[in-house]
Each structure stands twice: as C-alpha cells, then as structure tokens.
Structure 1
Amino acid sequence: MIQAIQRSIATLFLGLIISFSATAATFTDLFVFGDSLSDTQARITNGLMWPEYLTSDLGMPYDPSHNFAVAGATTDDMLNSQFSAWQSSYSVDPDALYVVWGGANDLFGWYQGGADLNAITGVINNAVSNLVTITSTLQSLGANHVLLLNLPDLGMTPRLNGDPFTSSAATAASTSFNTALAGALFQAGQPAELIDIFGWMRAVKADPTLFGLTDISHSCIADGADPDCTGYL
C-alpha cells in the first residue's frame, strides 16, 4: 500500500477520531496492533505509514516501539504475541489511542490452503474472536479510546483480483468477515469504535482520482514502478 493511501488512511482516521472524540487533541500516546498495513519496521510501502502521519496530525511524537504490528501477522499472532508483549511491558494509559487492525492474513492463509468453503466460517470466527478479545481486554483494563478496523475489500488486491471468480470469492469472504466482526463487537458491548475500511476502499474504487490514484488494480512492484509507485493503490 503506497504512501498516498497511507496518507489518506491517516486523514480518514483523524476525521473519524475528531467526530467521535472531543479529546482527540489530548491523546497521550498511540499503540498499534496489526500486520503489514500498520508495520513501520518492515515498512511495506514507499514512504511513511499511517501511524506516523496520524501522530504528526495529532501533534504527538511517534514512538515505533509502541507499534507492535508485524508484517504477515495473523490475528493469532496479534493476540498471542503482540498483545501479550504489550501486556508484559505496559499498563493501560486511559488517555492513549489504541488501534487494532488485522484479519487479512487469516483469510490469505485460508485461500492459500485451498480455500475450503467448509473451513471459512471457522477461520472468520477465530479471527473475529481474537480481535474482539484484544479490544474487550483493553476496555476492561481502562482504555477509553480504542479503534478497531474492519477488512478492506481483499478482492481488490493484486494478489486476488486477476481472476473474476477469485476476486468475487475474496470480496465475499471480506464481507462475511466484516459482518461477523460488527456482530461480535456489538455482542461484546461495543468495546471499540469500528472503522469501515471496506466502505472507504469502495469509495476509492468508485473514484480513484479523488485519492490521487490512477491504478488500483495492479502491483506497483510487479509493474516495475517501485520505488516511486506514484498513482498506485
């Protein structure tokens, strides 16, 4: 995901944060749990990542040691490794912002394992349970500002959009995941603010130029446009 989109995601976050929190300007810190979409160590992009943009927008210093996201992480990794590492080193700061974003690699793993339709419900339920456990635990420990992001439309990704059947299946899996996530979050008492990244990605698809994009279908690296990647999603 290139720099233009990382910038757009941070702007989206900022607008949503301001809309639901009167204390957006007084966050004391940012903690992140997730995968390559948030990992600033591996940095699978051609520039800054959304956590760096967001902290700058909020007038906060960015501390990479507070970003536990790891490229390739599943939600099992997020719960059992990232969140456990955070719990062993930190206590909850009620005024910090906590962002939880994962699940794509759970579905990618399901797809690479043969895309067994009989297994997809179990994969989704496990991933959703992991994410809701993280957010519910944060809330129970005293966190006041927790964001949980749903999945983008994985059918739009270069990895899966080459074949119409595969793309449709990935979109359907993303939709099922997001429906289950919203339902589980509601059942848990809404321990986090749910951010609709899927809907935002559909807005990007409807009019890429609004986001400074010209190619939302192909891989920048595969096309040989790396490291500039201007115009790519």
Structure 2
Amino acid sequence: MKKQAVAVGFVLFSFMLPTKASAVNFDQLYVFGDSLSDTGNIYNATGKTYPVSPPNFEGRFSDGPLWVDYVGNQLGLKPTLLTDIDFATIPPTPIPTQGINFAFGGSSSGLGNAVVSNSNLPGLLKQVLGFAATMQANNQTVDPDALYTLWGGANDFFFLNSEDSSTPISNISLALNTLVGVGAKNILVFNLPDLGQLPAAKINNRNPTTLSKSTNEFNLGLAETVSALSQNQNLNIISIDTYSLFNQASALGFTNVTESCLSRPDICNPGNNKFLIWDGFHPTTAGHKVIADAALAAIEAKSVPESSSNLGILALGAFGAIGVLKRQQKRSVLTARTPIQYSES
C-alpha cells in the first residue's frame, strides 16, 4: 500500500545521496510543499481518487503540467514521487537519482494535512523535518549541489481558518533554516499570490479582505526570513514573487484572471486556454508555465534584486515579468543542469 510509504519514507535517504556532486551544477531536485507542487503524491496516497483525473491532469491540481514539471524538464531533472518508492525492498526501489518530490496536496505549512484526514500525510514542515532527521541520523549532509524548493502556506488560510500569519511564517521559516542547517545551499522560495483575489475567496463563507490581509502579512514575514538568510554569502536563495506575477497576469497574456476555467465549461479548453486559474484555487498549466519561466529567469540571473515594495519577498516584481516576457519572445531554453555559483566558506 503506497500510503505506508508516507509513514516510513524517510528511511530512504541513506541510499540516495550521490557519492560525488558537481560544484557548479544542480544534480538533484527536492520539492517540499502542497498542491501547487504535488505531481501525484496525494493522488497515489488516496488510491488515485483525489484530485479527480480527468478533468485534472494525471493527479495534478491543474489541467496540465505544473511549474515543477516545467522547471525540472529544463534542468534535466525529474524528481521521484515519494509515494512511487517501494520501501519494502532493501534498498528501496526505485532509488531516486534526480531528487524527490515530497509535496502533498492539502499540506499545511506545519505537520499535517489541512484537507485530507490522514495522520500519515505530512505538512511542509514535517516533510523537511523528516528529511533532515534522516540525514542527521545517518551522519550525512544533504547534497549541496541540489536545488531545494519550498512553497506553502495557503492551506492554513483557506482550510485551517487561520487569520494569524505568525504560525505559517514560523513553520516556513523553520523549514528553511532546517534545510540550511543540514547543508542545503541552493533554495528556491515562493511567496503567496493574493489569496483574496482568487475565485475561491468568494465562496464558502471566506472573507476576501481577510485573506488579502493575511497574504500580505505572510509575504512580509517570509521576506524577513529570506533577507536574514541571504546575509550568508554561502547560500543561494532564489526568491519568486508570485504575488506580483499574478497581479501582472493580464500583461502576460491571460484574458480571464477573475474566474476559474472549470466554472466556464462553455469556453474552458484544458491545456490550451487563457485562464489564469483552473479550479478556483490553483493556476492553469499556462499559469504554471509563467511561474516556471519566472523561476528559470531568476536561476539564470543567479540573484534576484530586492524589492522596494512592501508586498515583495526580495521580489521579482517587474524584473520577473520582464524576464518572463523575454523568455517568451526569445523562446530560449535553459541549458540542462544550470550552473549556480555561490561563495565558498
């Protein structure tokens, strides 16, 4: 039963670390988060019943590939789903060679799942703590030449009825510092889009004004954590401002940024549409492609200029939009396993 893999999955890591890593290339991709990054874990864990596919695409909360699919493809890396690993074998099979995707749809920023009642489904912080604990138990450090990604927090506000941003900020901050503490060097961090502007904010007794306020507070708190970590010259913190990207969606070619695609079956064409939002909560695959392009532009730039806006998170802001537009115009392809430079201690 693949659900069992979630409970025991963290024993894997003594088998998965490379014996030698390049100092200038991403050789693995590790993904921590929720449905915005989950390429099939919750789908496997629920017996392939959630999210319903179709209309969702192959267990993803969208109509096509997610940002992590697009980024992984450009980097030449395809992380193994945690729930695809058989831990009954020694060593577990398959042995991940390109990283692992730990993200689960519905994950809270903390220890559990905010949507599916199952104690074996880890929240973002538990994903990271389990990963780090296994490294430490085996006296190992994580691969410093891998790319680690974190994106979460929205489920706390949508499904745990949290209006106080302090807990999700604390959880994400602890997750980031834990990764740094066990040796991660290259970390991709996403802030939240304005949750009050999503179609789902207008249903089920949610308060759009409160959600927008919580988003702003969360993004500011996350920006402070990232800013503090960025003082360490040995770290390469790559921040993606999805808040600004979503606010600029119309300029990026989306013709409908207020409705979900699924709410308009008369004009919704899965995989080929101009909607920003798929189901009320999640971006369409076109939206994910824009997020991926922003991430790749930031990786290519090696650094992201600090935003002067009080809504940013060391934000891409206009830089992100320009980078995305340039990528669309040039149709450039990022060289596989993009080099990332950082100062040696």
Instruction: Assess same fold via TM > 0.5.
Output: yes
1:232 matched to 2:231: no
Letter in 1 for 2:36: L
* Pairing 1:1-233 to 2, within 5 Å after superposition: 26-41=25-40, 42-65=59-82, 66-76=100-110, 77-80=123-126, 82-87=127-132, 91-110=141-160, 113=161, 120-121=163-164, 124-161=165-202, 166-187=207-228, 192-205=237-250, 207=251, 210-211=252-253, 213-224=254-265, 225=268, 227-228=270-271, 230-233=273-276
Tell me how far apart the structure 1 counterparts of residues 272 and 262 of structure 2 sit (CA, whole Å): 8
Question: 1:162 and 1:217, CA in 2 relative to 1: closer, same or farther beyond 3 A?
Answer: farther
**Structure 1 residue 57, shift from structure 2 partner:** 1.1
Give the total of aligned pairs: 196
> Higher helix fraction: Structure 1 or Structure 2?
1
**Structure 1 residue 59, shift from structure 2 partner:** 2.5
Tell me how far apart the structure 2 counterparts of residues 229 and 27 of structure 1 sit (CA, whole Å): 31
Question: 1:229 and 1:161, CA in 2 relative to 1: closer, same or farther beyond 3 A?
Answer: farther
**Structure 1 residue 62, shift from structure 2 partner:** 4.0
Tell me how far apart the structure 1 counterparts of residues 62 and 229 of structure 2 sit (CA, whole Å): 34
**Structure 1 residue 162, shift from structure 2 partner:** 6.7
SS in 1 for 2:71: helix
Per-residue CA deviations over 1:169-204 (Å, capped at 9, x if unaligned) read 322221111111112333456574332111111111
Q: CA RMSD in A?
A: 2.7
Letter in 2 for 1:45: S
Tell me how far apart the structure 2 counterparts of residues 143 and 33 of structure 1 sit (CA, whole Å): 13
**Structure 1 residue 128, shift from structure 2 partner:** 0.8
Is residue 24–residue 145 contact of structure 2 (8 Å, CA) maintained in 1?
A: no
**Structure 1 residue 168, shift from structure 2 partner:** 3.1
**Structure 1 residue 32, shift from structure 2 partner:** 0.7
Per-residue CA deviations over 1:22-76 (Å, capped at 9, x if unaligned) read x997101111111111110030111111111111112334433411111111101
| Structure 1 runs (4+) greater than 6 angstroms displaced | none
Letter in 2 for 1:38: S
Which shifted more, 165-174 or 49-58? 165-174
SS in 2 for 1:137: helix
Tell me how far apart the structure 2 counterparts of residues 73 and 197 of structure 1 sit (CA, whole Å): 19
SS in 1 for 2:189: strand
Unpaired runs of 5+ residues, structure 2, are 1-21, 41-58, 83-99, 111-122, 136-140, 277-345
**Structure 1 residue 223, shift from structure 2 partner:** 2.0
Tell me how far apart the structure 2 counterparts of residues 34 and 60 of structure 1 sit (CA, whole Å): 18
Is residue 132–residue 188 contact of structure 1 (8 Å, CA) maintained in 2?
A: no
Unpaired runs of 5+ residues, structure 1, are 1-22, 114-118
Letter in 2 for 1:197: T
Tell me how far apart the structure 1 counterparts of residues 31 and 260 of structure 2 sit (CA, whole Å): 26
Tell me how far apart the structure 2 counterparts of residues 148 and 128 of structure 1 sit (CA, whole Å): 13
- Percent identity at matched positions? 33
Give the greater-gyration-radius structure (CA). Answer: 2
SS in 2 for 1:120: coil
